[in-house]
């Protein structure tokens, strides 16, 4: 049976390779390696029971998995994994790291919402609709004035 | 009292034997070679390491040469110094303690390292672990010294009243070269 140790070592090895790829500007490869590392780390974390005696191993594994999800830009998964880590019995230092990561992810999610192209396009559509409605109103007003003038 | 130990060998190629850095050992090795070469050192250079009350002199060994291409690809030596300091630390800590590097996770610009006993458990792999903080200095000056960097790192560490997860702080300097490792 594969142990937590074997799964984590595999994950850490891939995470290292991802770090080097990112450092050397191979972004896509870095993401792919981080994604593979995440799969192994999730398996490792899943094998550790959620009990006080499992700490700090359990919370560090979830912190590590959340960091990998963050590197893959899978922000929702990163948040879920941080929450999973916090739901156990993390020691103060790890808890603080989990909270820092949660804030980092939350900030990115917020900026994604602010700068999301689909929201920008939706805003433009609303703007176009408003201009169109204004023009229509003006046309109707001109038409009404013409009717009044004709009377 | 300071205890001086005789010379031990630190072979950069041995980074490949550390599971976590198996795949990336050449990356770390190259940074280390470039930094030592930049400071006029070659393979077999003596490295003084201070850890607690002991001083140990290591011989740093590697094969191969630092090429012009390698030097040119490390125009930003400050970045290389941090990885080079990690390479030395990854080899020094297991040589001086019962711990070895088990984790390296990066979040943005923050890098976390953990150390675990060499005989760690197969399941609770981070129980009995320690954190590791590493920093590198290409050539120390009065305002940027090993001792100063250690003090900065120690000041920034969060209190650990119950001693549940100690921290090792390692600062490596490539001018002399020397390193200092402190355990909180």
* B167 sits in which H/E element: strand B167-173
Residue A39 has pLDDT above 70, yes or no: yes
Tokens, residue B95: 């040589």
Token couple for B147? 């001792």
ipTM of the complex: 0.76
Residue A69 has φ and ψ, to the nearest 5°, of -60, -40
Average pLDDT of chain A to the nearest whole number: 85
A63 touches chain B (CB under 8 A): yes
| Structure tokens that stand for A122 in this block | 């939706």
Question: For B121-174, how does the pLDDT look when each residue is reduced to its tens digit (9 = 90+)?
Answer: 888 888 888 889 999 999 999 999 999 999 998 888 766 666 667 889 999 999
Q: DSSP 3-state assignment of B138?
A: coil
CB contact burial B112-149 (16+ within 10 A = b; e otherwise): bbbbbbeebeeebbbbbbbbbbbbbbbebeeeeebeeb
pLDDT band for position B14 (50/70/90)? very high
pLDDT for B3: 52
Residues in B closer than 8 angstroms to A71, CB to CB, are 106-107
Residue B76: both structure tokens together: 């930003």
CA of A127 to nearest chain B CA: how many angstroms apart? 37
A108 touches chain B (CB under 8 A): no
The predicted-structure confidence for B53-81, as pLDDT tens digits, reads as follows 899 999 999 999 999 999 998 888 988 99
Q: Which residues contact A84 (CB under 8 A, 6 or more apart)?
A: A45, A62
What is the mean pLDDT of the segment spanning B39-62? 95
User: Could A101 and B107 be called an inter-chain contact, meaning their C-beta atoms sit closer than 8 Å?
Assistant: yes
Element (H, E) at B106: strand B99-107
Mean pLDDT of A60-70: 94
Answer whether residue B24 shows pLDDT above 70: yes
Tell me the average pLDDT across A127-135. Answer: 59
User: For residue A43, is pLDDT > 60?
Assistant: yes
Global pTM value: 0.79
pLDDT band, very low/low/confident/very high, at A130 (cuts 50, 70, 90): low
Query: In this predicted structure, what is the pLDDT of residue A44?
Result: 96
CB B1 within 8 A of CB B52: no
Average pLDDT, chain B: 88
DSSP string, B37-52: HHTT--TTEEEEEEET
Choose the closest CB to A20 out of B27, B107, B112.
B27
Mean pLDDT of A60-85: 94
Under the banding of pLDDT at 50, 70 and 90, the label for residue B22 is confident
**What φ, ψ does residue B62 adopt, rounded to 5°?**
-155, 160
Q: Which residues of A touch B24 (CB under 8 A)?
A: 16-17, 19-20
């Amino acid at each position: 049976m594969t142990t937590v140790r074997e799964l984590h070592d595999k994950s850490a090895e891939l995470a290292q390779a991802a770090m080097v790829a990112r450092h050397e500007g191979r972004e896509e490869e870095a993401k792919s390696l981080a994604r593979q590392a995440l799969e192994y780390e999730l398996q490792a974390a899943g094998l550790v029971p959620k009990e006080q005696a499992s700490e700090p191993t359990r919370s560090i594994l979830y912190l590590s998995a959340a960091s990998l999800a963050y590197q893959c830009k899978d922000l929702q998964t990163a948040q879920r994994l941080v929450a999973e880590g916090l739901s156990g019995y993390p020691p103060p230092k790890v808890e603080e790291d989990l909270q820092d990561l949660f804030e980092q992810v939350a900030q990115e999610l917020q900026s994604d919402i602010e700068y999301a192209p689909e929201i920008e396009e939706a805003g433009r559509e609303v703007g176009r609709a408003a201009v169109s409605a204004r023009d229509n109103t003006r046309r109707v007003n001109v038409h009404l004035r013409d009717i009044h003038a004709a009377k | 009292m300071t205890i001086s130990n005789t010379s031990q060998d630190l072979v950069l190629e041995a980074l490949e034997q550390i599971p976590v850095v198996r795949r990336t050992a050449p990356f770390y090795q190259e940074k280390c070679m470039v930094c030592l070469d930049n400071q006029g050192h070659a393979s077999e250079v003596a490295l003084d390491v201070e850890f607690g009350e002991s001083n140990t002199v290591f011989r740093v060994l590697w094969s191969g040469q630092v090429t012009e291409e390698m030097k040119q690809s490390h125009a930003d030596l400050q970045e290389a110094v941090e990885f080079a300091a990690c390479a030395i630390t990854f080899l020094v800590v297991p040589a001086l303690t019962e711990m070895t590097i088990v984790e390296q996770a990066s979040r943005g610009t923050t890098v976390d390292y953990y150390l675990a006993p060499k005989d760690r458990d197969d399941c609770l792999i981070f129980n009995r672990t320690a954190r590791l903080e590493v920093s590198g200095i290409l050539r120390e000056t009065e305002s940027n010294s090993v001792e100063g960097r250690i003090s900065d790192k120690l000041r920034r560490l969060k209190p650990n009243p119950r001693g549940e997860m100690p921290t090792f702080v390692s600062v490596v300097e490539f001018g002399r070269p020397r390193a200092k490792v402190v355990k909180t």
